[in-house]
Amino acid sequence: MLTVSDVHLSFRGVRALAGVSLTVEPGETLGIIGPNGSGKSTLFNVISGIYKPDRGRVTFLGTDVTAAEPRSIVSLGLARTYQNKRLFGSLTVLENVVVPALRTQAGSWLGDIVGRSAGRAAADAKARDCLAFVGLHDVADVQANSLAYGQQNRLEIARALALDPKLLMLDEPAAGLSPPERIEMRDLIERVKARGTAVALVEHDMRVVMQLCSRLVVLDHGEVIATGSPAEVTANPDVIAAYFGVPVDD
């Protein structure tokens, strides 16, 4: 489904990614982990078209998207969330999901926004379905900036699901959540998987990662240092050293 091949990216001479390669298979949940500053979110930004790599290639569903604009990549079926929330705070929860839902309707999305098309009604119904799926249907008419932090995380996922993704990329969906909220988030991602949607997950909470992911890729200083099952990766001496900063024997 997704192939990242030998991707390099630097910012003013500072290396962010160095020869990163990975794949995501249909229906798979891939975990991308690593210490802070290892390049995880940067990799997401390359895959989703926000950053263009200095070298390497990104292919999604057989299409080379290395130089593609984000809107073109979305059209192919790739959606994502952000570690730093990108909500429309002054709009309602429902309106936040209607905006991406309009993207999937035929005709002019701008015309739909101002109510000049039947596409708005279809987008509204789709947005309500997405909110029900993530458990936010009861706050549909509340302003987005008044939501609790955990609810904002779920709203981010609802907006991404409104784009009908074949691959959903989640950037730290459990960050900042309480233990009960982390369980709810894990269960939500399980339900996304059950729909047949592939998931690429950046997450620091290893309980969530171990429970959700069939395969892990570990980054450190912009390089892939390990790939394998959760059990294989967490027993890897290079991974242990990267997280704790000392050789495994210590």
CA distance 23 to 103: 27
Task: Decide if pLDDT at 109 tops 60.
Answer: no
Number of Cβ within 10 Å of residue 116's Cβ equals 12
Task: Decide if pLDDT at 224 tops 70.
Answer: yes
Architecture of domain 1-77+165-250: 3-Layer(aba) Sandwich (3.40)
The whole-number pLDDT of residue 125 equals 94
The whole-number pLDDT of residue 39 equals 94
With cut-offs at 50, 70 and 90, classify the pLDDT of residue 13.
confident
57-99 pLDDT tens trace: 999 999 999 999 999 999 999 999 998 888 999 999 999 999 9
Q: Quick one: which of 52, 53, 64 has its CA closest to 2?
A: 64
CA distance 61 to 63: 6
Q: Which residues have a Cβ under 8 Å from the Cβ of 14 and sit 6 or more positions away?
A: none
Residue 64, amino acid: D
CA distance 15 to 194: 37
CA distance 99 to 90: 13
The whole-number pLDDT of residue 32 equals 96
Q: What are phi and psi of 171, to 5 degrees?
A: -100, 100
Residue 246, amino acid: V
Q: Are 4 and 47 in contact (CB under 8 A)?
A: yes
CA distance 59 to 52: 13
With cut-offs at 50, 70 and 90, classify the pLDDT of residue 16.
very high
Would you kindly state where each structural domain of the chain is located, as residue ranges?
Answer: 1-77+165-250, 88-163
The whole-number pLDDT of residue 6 equals 97
